[in-house]
Amino acid sequence: MIYFFDGSKEAFLTAFLLAYRDGEALLTAGEKQLSIGQKSVFVRADPAMAAKCERRLLELDKRCMDDLSFLLRSGEGMRGQTAFLYLRLIAQRGRPVRGELAEDAVSEATECIRRIKLEAHRLKGFVRFLECASGALYAPVSPVNDVCDLLLPHFRGRLGHIPFVLHDVPRGKAAVWDGAHAFLAPLQHAEIVLSSDEAGWQALWRRYYNAVTLPSRARLKQMKGYMPVRYWKFLPEDPAAAIGDLPAADASANAGGASANAECAAGRALHAPSDAPSDAPSDTLPVKGRAPSPQAARDALPPPHGSPRPPAAPAHP
């Protein structure tokens, strides 16, 4: 039987109880193609069942809910199942199983948690803020895992009194620090008016990035290992264009990653050349109540670097 749930902890724990004795159980919060004859059920959260389940599991392993909260952040299709198999093993053994890496369920879960923590760690470096006219900072992000709120304390600590928004664009939500309070809020589209200096600082940063590169040594595989291409689309330094500046032999093997931008308006705002048509005036960025305008999108544009190119086209066909 396949148990669909909405991704929340309560629904997961409810489904866990229902599926516990089902040898064929598959828990998933994503989409799953059913094969012929396969049965499925959509599990709704039952607070009483969930609380009972949580209490029991905590008796067996007092850190297991921390593990669960990470596992449910996973953006991978199998996230429900990885958590299910891991917690079921705890229940079957009646004790913590952390560290028993020769067990599939444990090594899967451990790896999954490691990847989520790694992504949160990487994003502390790869998030890029845009400065709004109000002085607030806005960063669009597109993480694989649901990690935005994990980043809040980090940026709060360093930015102090400056308000900021971390916008998880694909999930349509934001982690917000308004200078006094931190909270999470749904946010589909953001419209922002950028500060007058923003484009200038971005241009300087791009200039710095290109100047600090040692042209004689292309090590693109390493570069992409440390900074996977999926994180490039909101980087004003535009690594894809920088690769384009290298000798053709090196760049040709890597054109695959170059088209990373333009999945959402913020990505376009960062990378599109300024004479490109602003095709999405209504979903450019906010911070506080200005009417969306094509002008806002154009304000967000840095001066073109190199020859203008359509936003979605690879830099090096």
Partner 1 sequence: MIAEEKLKILTESARYDVSCSSSGSGRKNEGGIGNGMPDGCCHSFTPDGRCVSLLKLLMSNDCIFDCKYCMSRRSHDVPRATATPEEICSLTVDFYKRNYIEGLFLSSAVHVSPDATMELLVRTVKLLRTKYRFHGYVHLKGIPNADPLLVSEGAKYADRMSYNLELPSERSLKLLAPQKSKESLLSPMLRLCRERALFQAEKRKGFFLPAGQTTQMIVGASPERDGCILRLTESLYRTAGLKRVYYSSYAPVVEDALLPSVPSPALREHRLYQADWLLRFYGFDVEELVDEGEDLPLDIDPKCAWALRNMHLFPVEVNRAPLEMLLRVPGIGARSAQKILSARRYTALTFDHLKKMRVVLKRARHFITANGQFCGEEHAPALRCLLAAGDAAEAADAPEQLSLFAAGEHTPVQLPLFAQDAARSARTGEL
Q: According to the binding rule CB under 8 A, does residue 222 interact with partner 1?
A: yes
Q: Does 227 bind partner 1 (CB under 8 A)?
A: yes
Nearer to partner 1, 170 or 247 (CB): 247
Q: Specify the residue, 32 or 88, whose C-beta has the smaller distance to partner 1.
A: 88
Phi, psi torsion values for 186, nearest 5 degrees: -65, 140
For residue 297, the minimal CB distance to partner 1 (Å) is 19
DSSP sequence for 244-309:
HTS-HHHHHTTGGGGG---SSHHHHHHHS-TTS----GGGS--SSSPPP-HHHHHHTPPPP-SS--
Burial of 125 (0-12, 13-18, 19+ CB in 10 A): exposed
Select from 205, 206, 179 the least CA-distant residue to 287: 179
Q: Number of residues in contact with partner 1, rule: CB under 8 A?
A: 58
Query: Closest separation between CB of residue 242 and partner 1, Å?
Result: 6
In the complex, the smallest distance separating the C-beta of residue 224 from partner 1, rounded to whole angstroms, is 8
In the bound state with partner 1, the residue whose beta carbon lies nearer, of 53 and 169, is: 169
Q: Which of residues 129-188 bind partner 1 (CB under 8 A)?
A: 129-131, 137, 139, 155, 157-160, 162
The C-alpha atoms of residue 296 and residue 198 are separated, in whole angstroms, by: 12
Cβ distance to partner 1 smaller for residue 183 or 208? 208
Pairing between β-strand 26-28 and β-strand 173-177 as defined by DSSP bridges: unpaired
Please name which of 267, 261, 276, 268 lies closest in space to residue 309, comparing C-alpha atoms.
Answer: 276
Residue 11 or 136 having the CB closest to partner 1? 136
Token pair 């241009």: residue: 203
Point out which residues bind partner 1 (CB under 8 A).
Answer: 99-102, 104, 107, 111, 118, 122, 124-131, 137, 139, 155, 157-160, 162, 197, 200-201, 203-205, 207-209, 211-223, 225-227, 235-237, 239, 242-243, 246, 250
